[in-house]
């Protein structure tokens, strides 16, 4: 079988940076290394990190009370994952009696900075994103109580009458949807400040799916956690290319009898999928 692997598949630099920060502390003997919620949305990688002494505490949305337990001789540290957190959560974590290290993706930090700047100027902040996603939850903390998370045109229609408006996006959303919603928002707020804050890695992965179709892929395998937001978006985008799409976490999830019907298969992966899983899937596909 011919396998076309997307050049942008796998870890984005923000996720890789957060993993490196936590892993380096663990390698230096700093135990335990706590992370506020899962460091990465991939259970296979989380198992490897746990073996290194990296422990997930709190919850996925960075809302829950943190329960920590370590011995007096330990040198614990708290690492904030790439999704980022709200200022209130930051204050809470810093008040815990352990060292604090922020591994928020710099791209997410830039979005937070733009929100904070415009909120201080009196703007209402509209965020295109998932209201239950930790990144959107964290960004809302910078809106000074003047923030709204929207996903559809109907959500925009339901907004209260606002004065000055600034429109940004969670970093992992669809580019074409952001543009469509921007046009719709301008009907109500023609003077709105609109800032495309979808990160470059997300755009590369989305364009990579389209390239797989253009290069002759008859089906697309999307590798990543079943609950990973950016991976699910890649799978949806693959379906929109009108190609059979298989969203799997590992090789064991793939329906071999079905995939063997294709001569050329495209492979991509979400931003939280490690190379060792992608490599295994590609190798096994090529062997069919």
Q: What is the pLDDT of residue 40?
A: 86
Per-residue pLDDT of the chain (288 residues; tens, 9 = 90+): 999 999 999 899 999 999 999 999 999 988 889 999 999 888 888 899 999 999 999 999 999 999 887 665 678 899 999 999 999 999 999 999 889 999 999 999 999 999 999 999 999 999 999 999 999 999 999 999 999 999 999 999 999 999 999 999 999 999 999 999 999 999 999 999 999 999 999 999 999 999 999 999 999 999 998 888 889 999 999 999 999 999 999 999 999 999 999 999 999 999 989 999 999 999 999 999
The total domain count for the chain is 3
Q: Which residue bears the tokens 């796998």?
A: 10
Q: What is the pLDDT of residue 151?
A: 97
Q: What is the pLDDT of residue 68?
A: 84
Contact 228, 41 (CB under 8 A): yes
Contact 162, 185 (CB under 8 A): no
Q: What is the pLDDT of residue 227?
A: 82
Contact 42, 224 (CB under 8 A): yes
Last residue within a domain, chosen from 56, 78, 104: 104
Q: Is 135 a catalytic residue?
A: yes
pTM of the model: 0.91
Contacts of 54 (CB under 8 A, 6+ apart): 22, 23, 26, 32, 33, 35, 39
The DSSP annotation for 105-152 comes to -HHHHHHHHHHHHHHHTT-EEEEES-TTSHHHHHHHTTSTT-EEEE-S
Catalytic residue among 135, 144, 180, 261: 135
Here the CATH number for the domain that contains residue 277 is: 3.40.1010.20
Last residue within a domain, chosen from 170, 194, 218: 194
Domain that holds residue 162: 107-194
Spatial distance between the Cα atoms of 168 and 147, rounded to a whole number of angstroms: 11
Contact 244, 250 (CB under 8 A): no
Here the CATH number for the domain that contains residue 35 is: 3.40.50.11270
Residues 182, 206 share a domain: no
Residues 71, 38 share a domain: yes
- For residue 8 the two structure tokens come to 């942008």
Contact 49, 263 (CB under 8 A): no
Residue 36 CB-density burial (10 A; 0-12 exposed, 13-18 middle, 19+ buried): buried
Contact 144, 120 (CB under 8 A): yes
Q: What is the pLDDT of residue 125?
A: 98
Last residue within a domain, chosen from 104, 127, 145: 104
């Amino acid at each position: 079988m011919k396998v076309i692997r997307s050049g942008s598949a796998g870890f984005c630099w923000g996720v890789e940076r957060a993993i490196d920060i936590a892993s380096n502390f663990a390698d230096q003997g700093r135990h335990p290394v706590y992370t506020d919620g899962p460091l990465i949305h991939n259970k296979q990688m989380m198992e490897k990190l746990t073996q290194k002494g990296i422990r997930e505490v709190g919850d996925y949305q960075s809302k829950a009370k943190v329960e920590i337990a370590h011995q007096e001789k330990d040198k614990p540290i708290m690492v904030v994952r790439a999704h980022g957190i709200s200022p209130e959560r930051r204050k809470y974590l810093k008040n815990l009696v352990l060292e604090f290290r922020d591994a928020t993706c710099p791209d997410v930090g830039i979005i937070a900075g733009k929100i904070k700047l415009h909120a201080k100027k009196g703007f209402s902040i509209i965020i295109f994103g998932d209201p239950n996603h930790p990144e959107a939850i964290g960004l809302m903390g910078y809106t000074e109580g003047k923030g709204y998370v929207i996903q559809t045109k109907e959500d925009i229609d339901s907004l209260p009458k606002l004065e000055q408006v600034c429109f940004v996006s969670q970093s992992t959303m669809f580019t074409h949807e952001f543009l469509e919603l921007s046009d719709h928002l301008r009907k109500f707020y023609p003077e709105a400040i609109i800032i495309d804050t979808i990160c470059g890695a997300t755009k590369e992965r989305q364009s990579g799916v389209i390239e797989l179709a253009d290069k002759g892929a008859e089906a697309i395998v999307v590798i990543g956690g079943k609950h990973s937001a950016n991976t699910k978006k890649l799978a949806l985008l693959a379906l929109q290319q009108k190609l059979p799409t298989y969203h799997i976490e590992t090789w064991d999830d793939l329906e071999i009898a079905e995939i063997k019907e294709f001569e050329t298969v495209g492979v991509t992966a979400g931003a939280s999928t490690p190379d060792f899983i992608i490599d295994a899937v590609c190798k096994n596909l090529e062997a069919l």
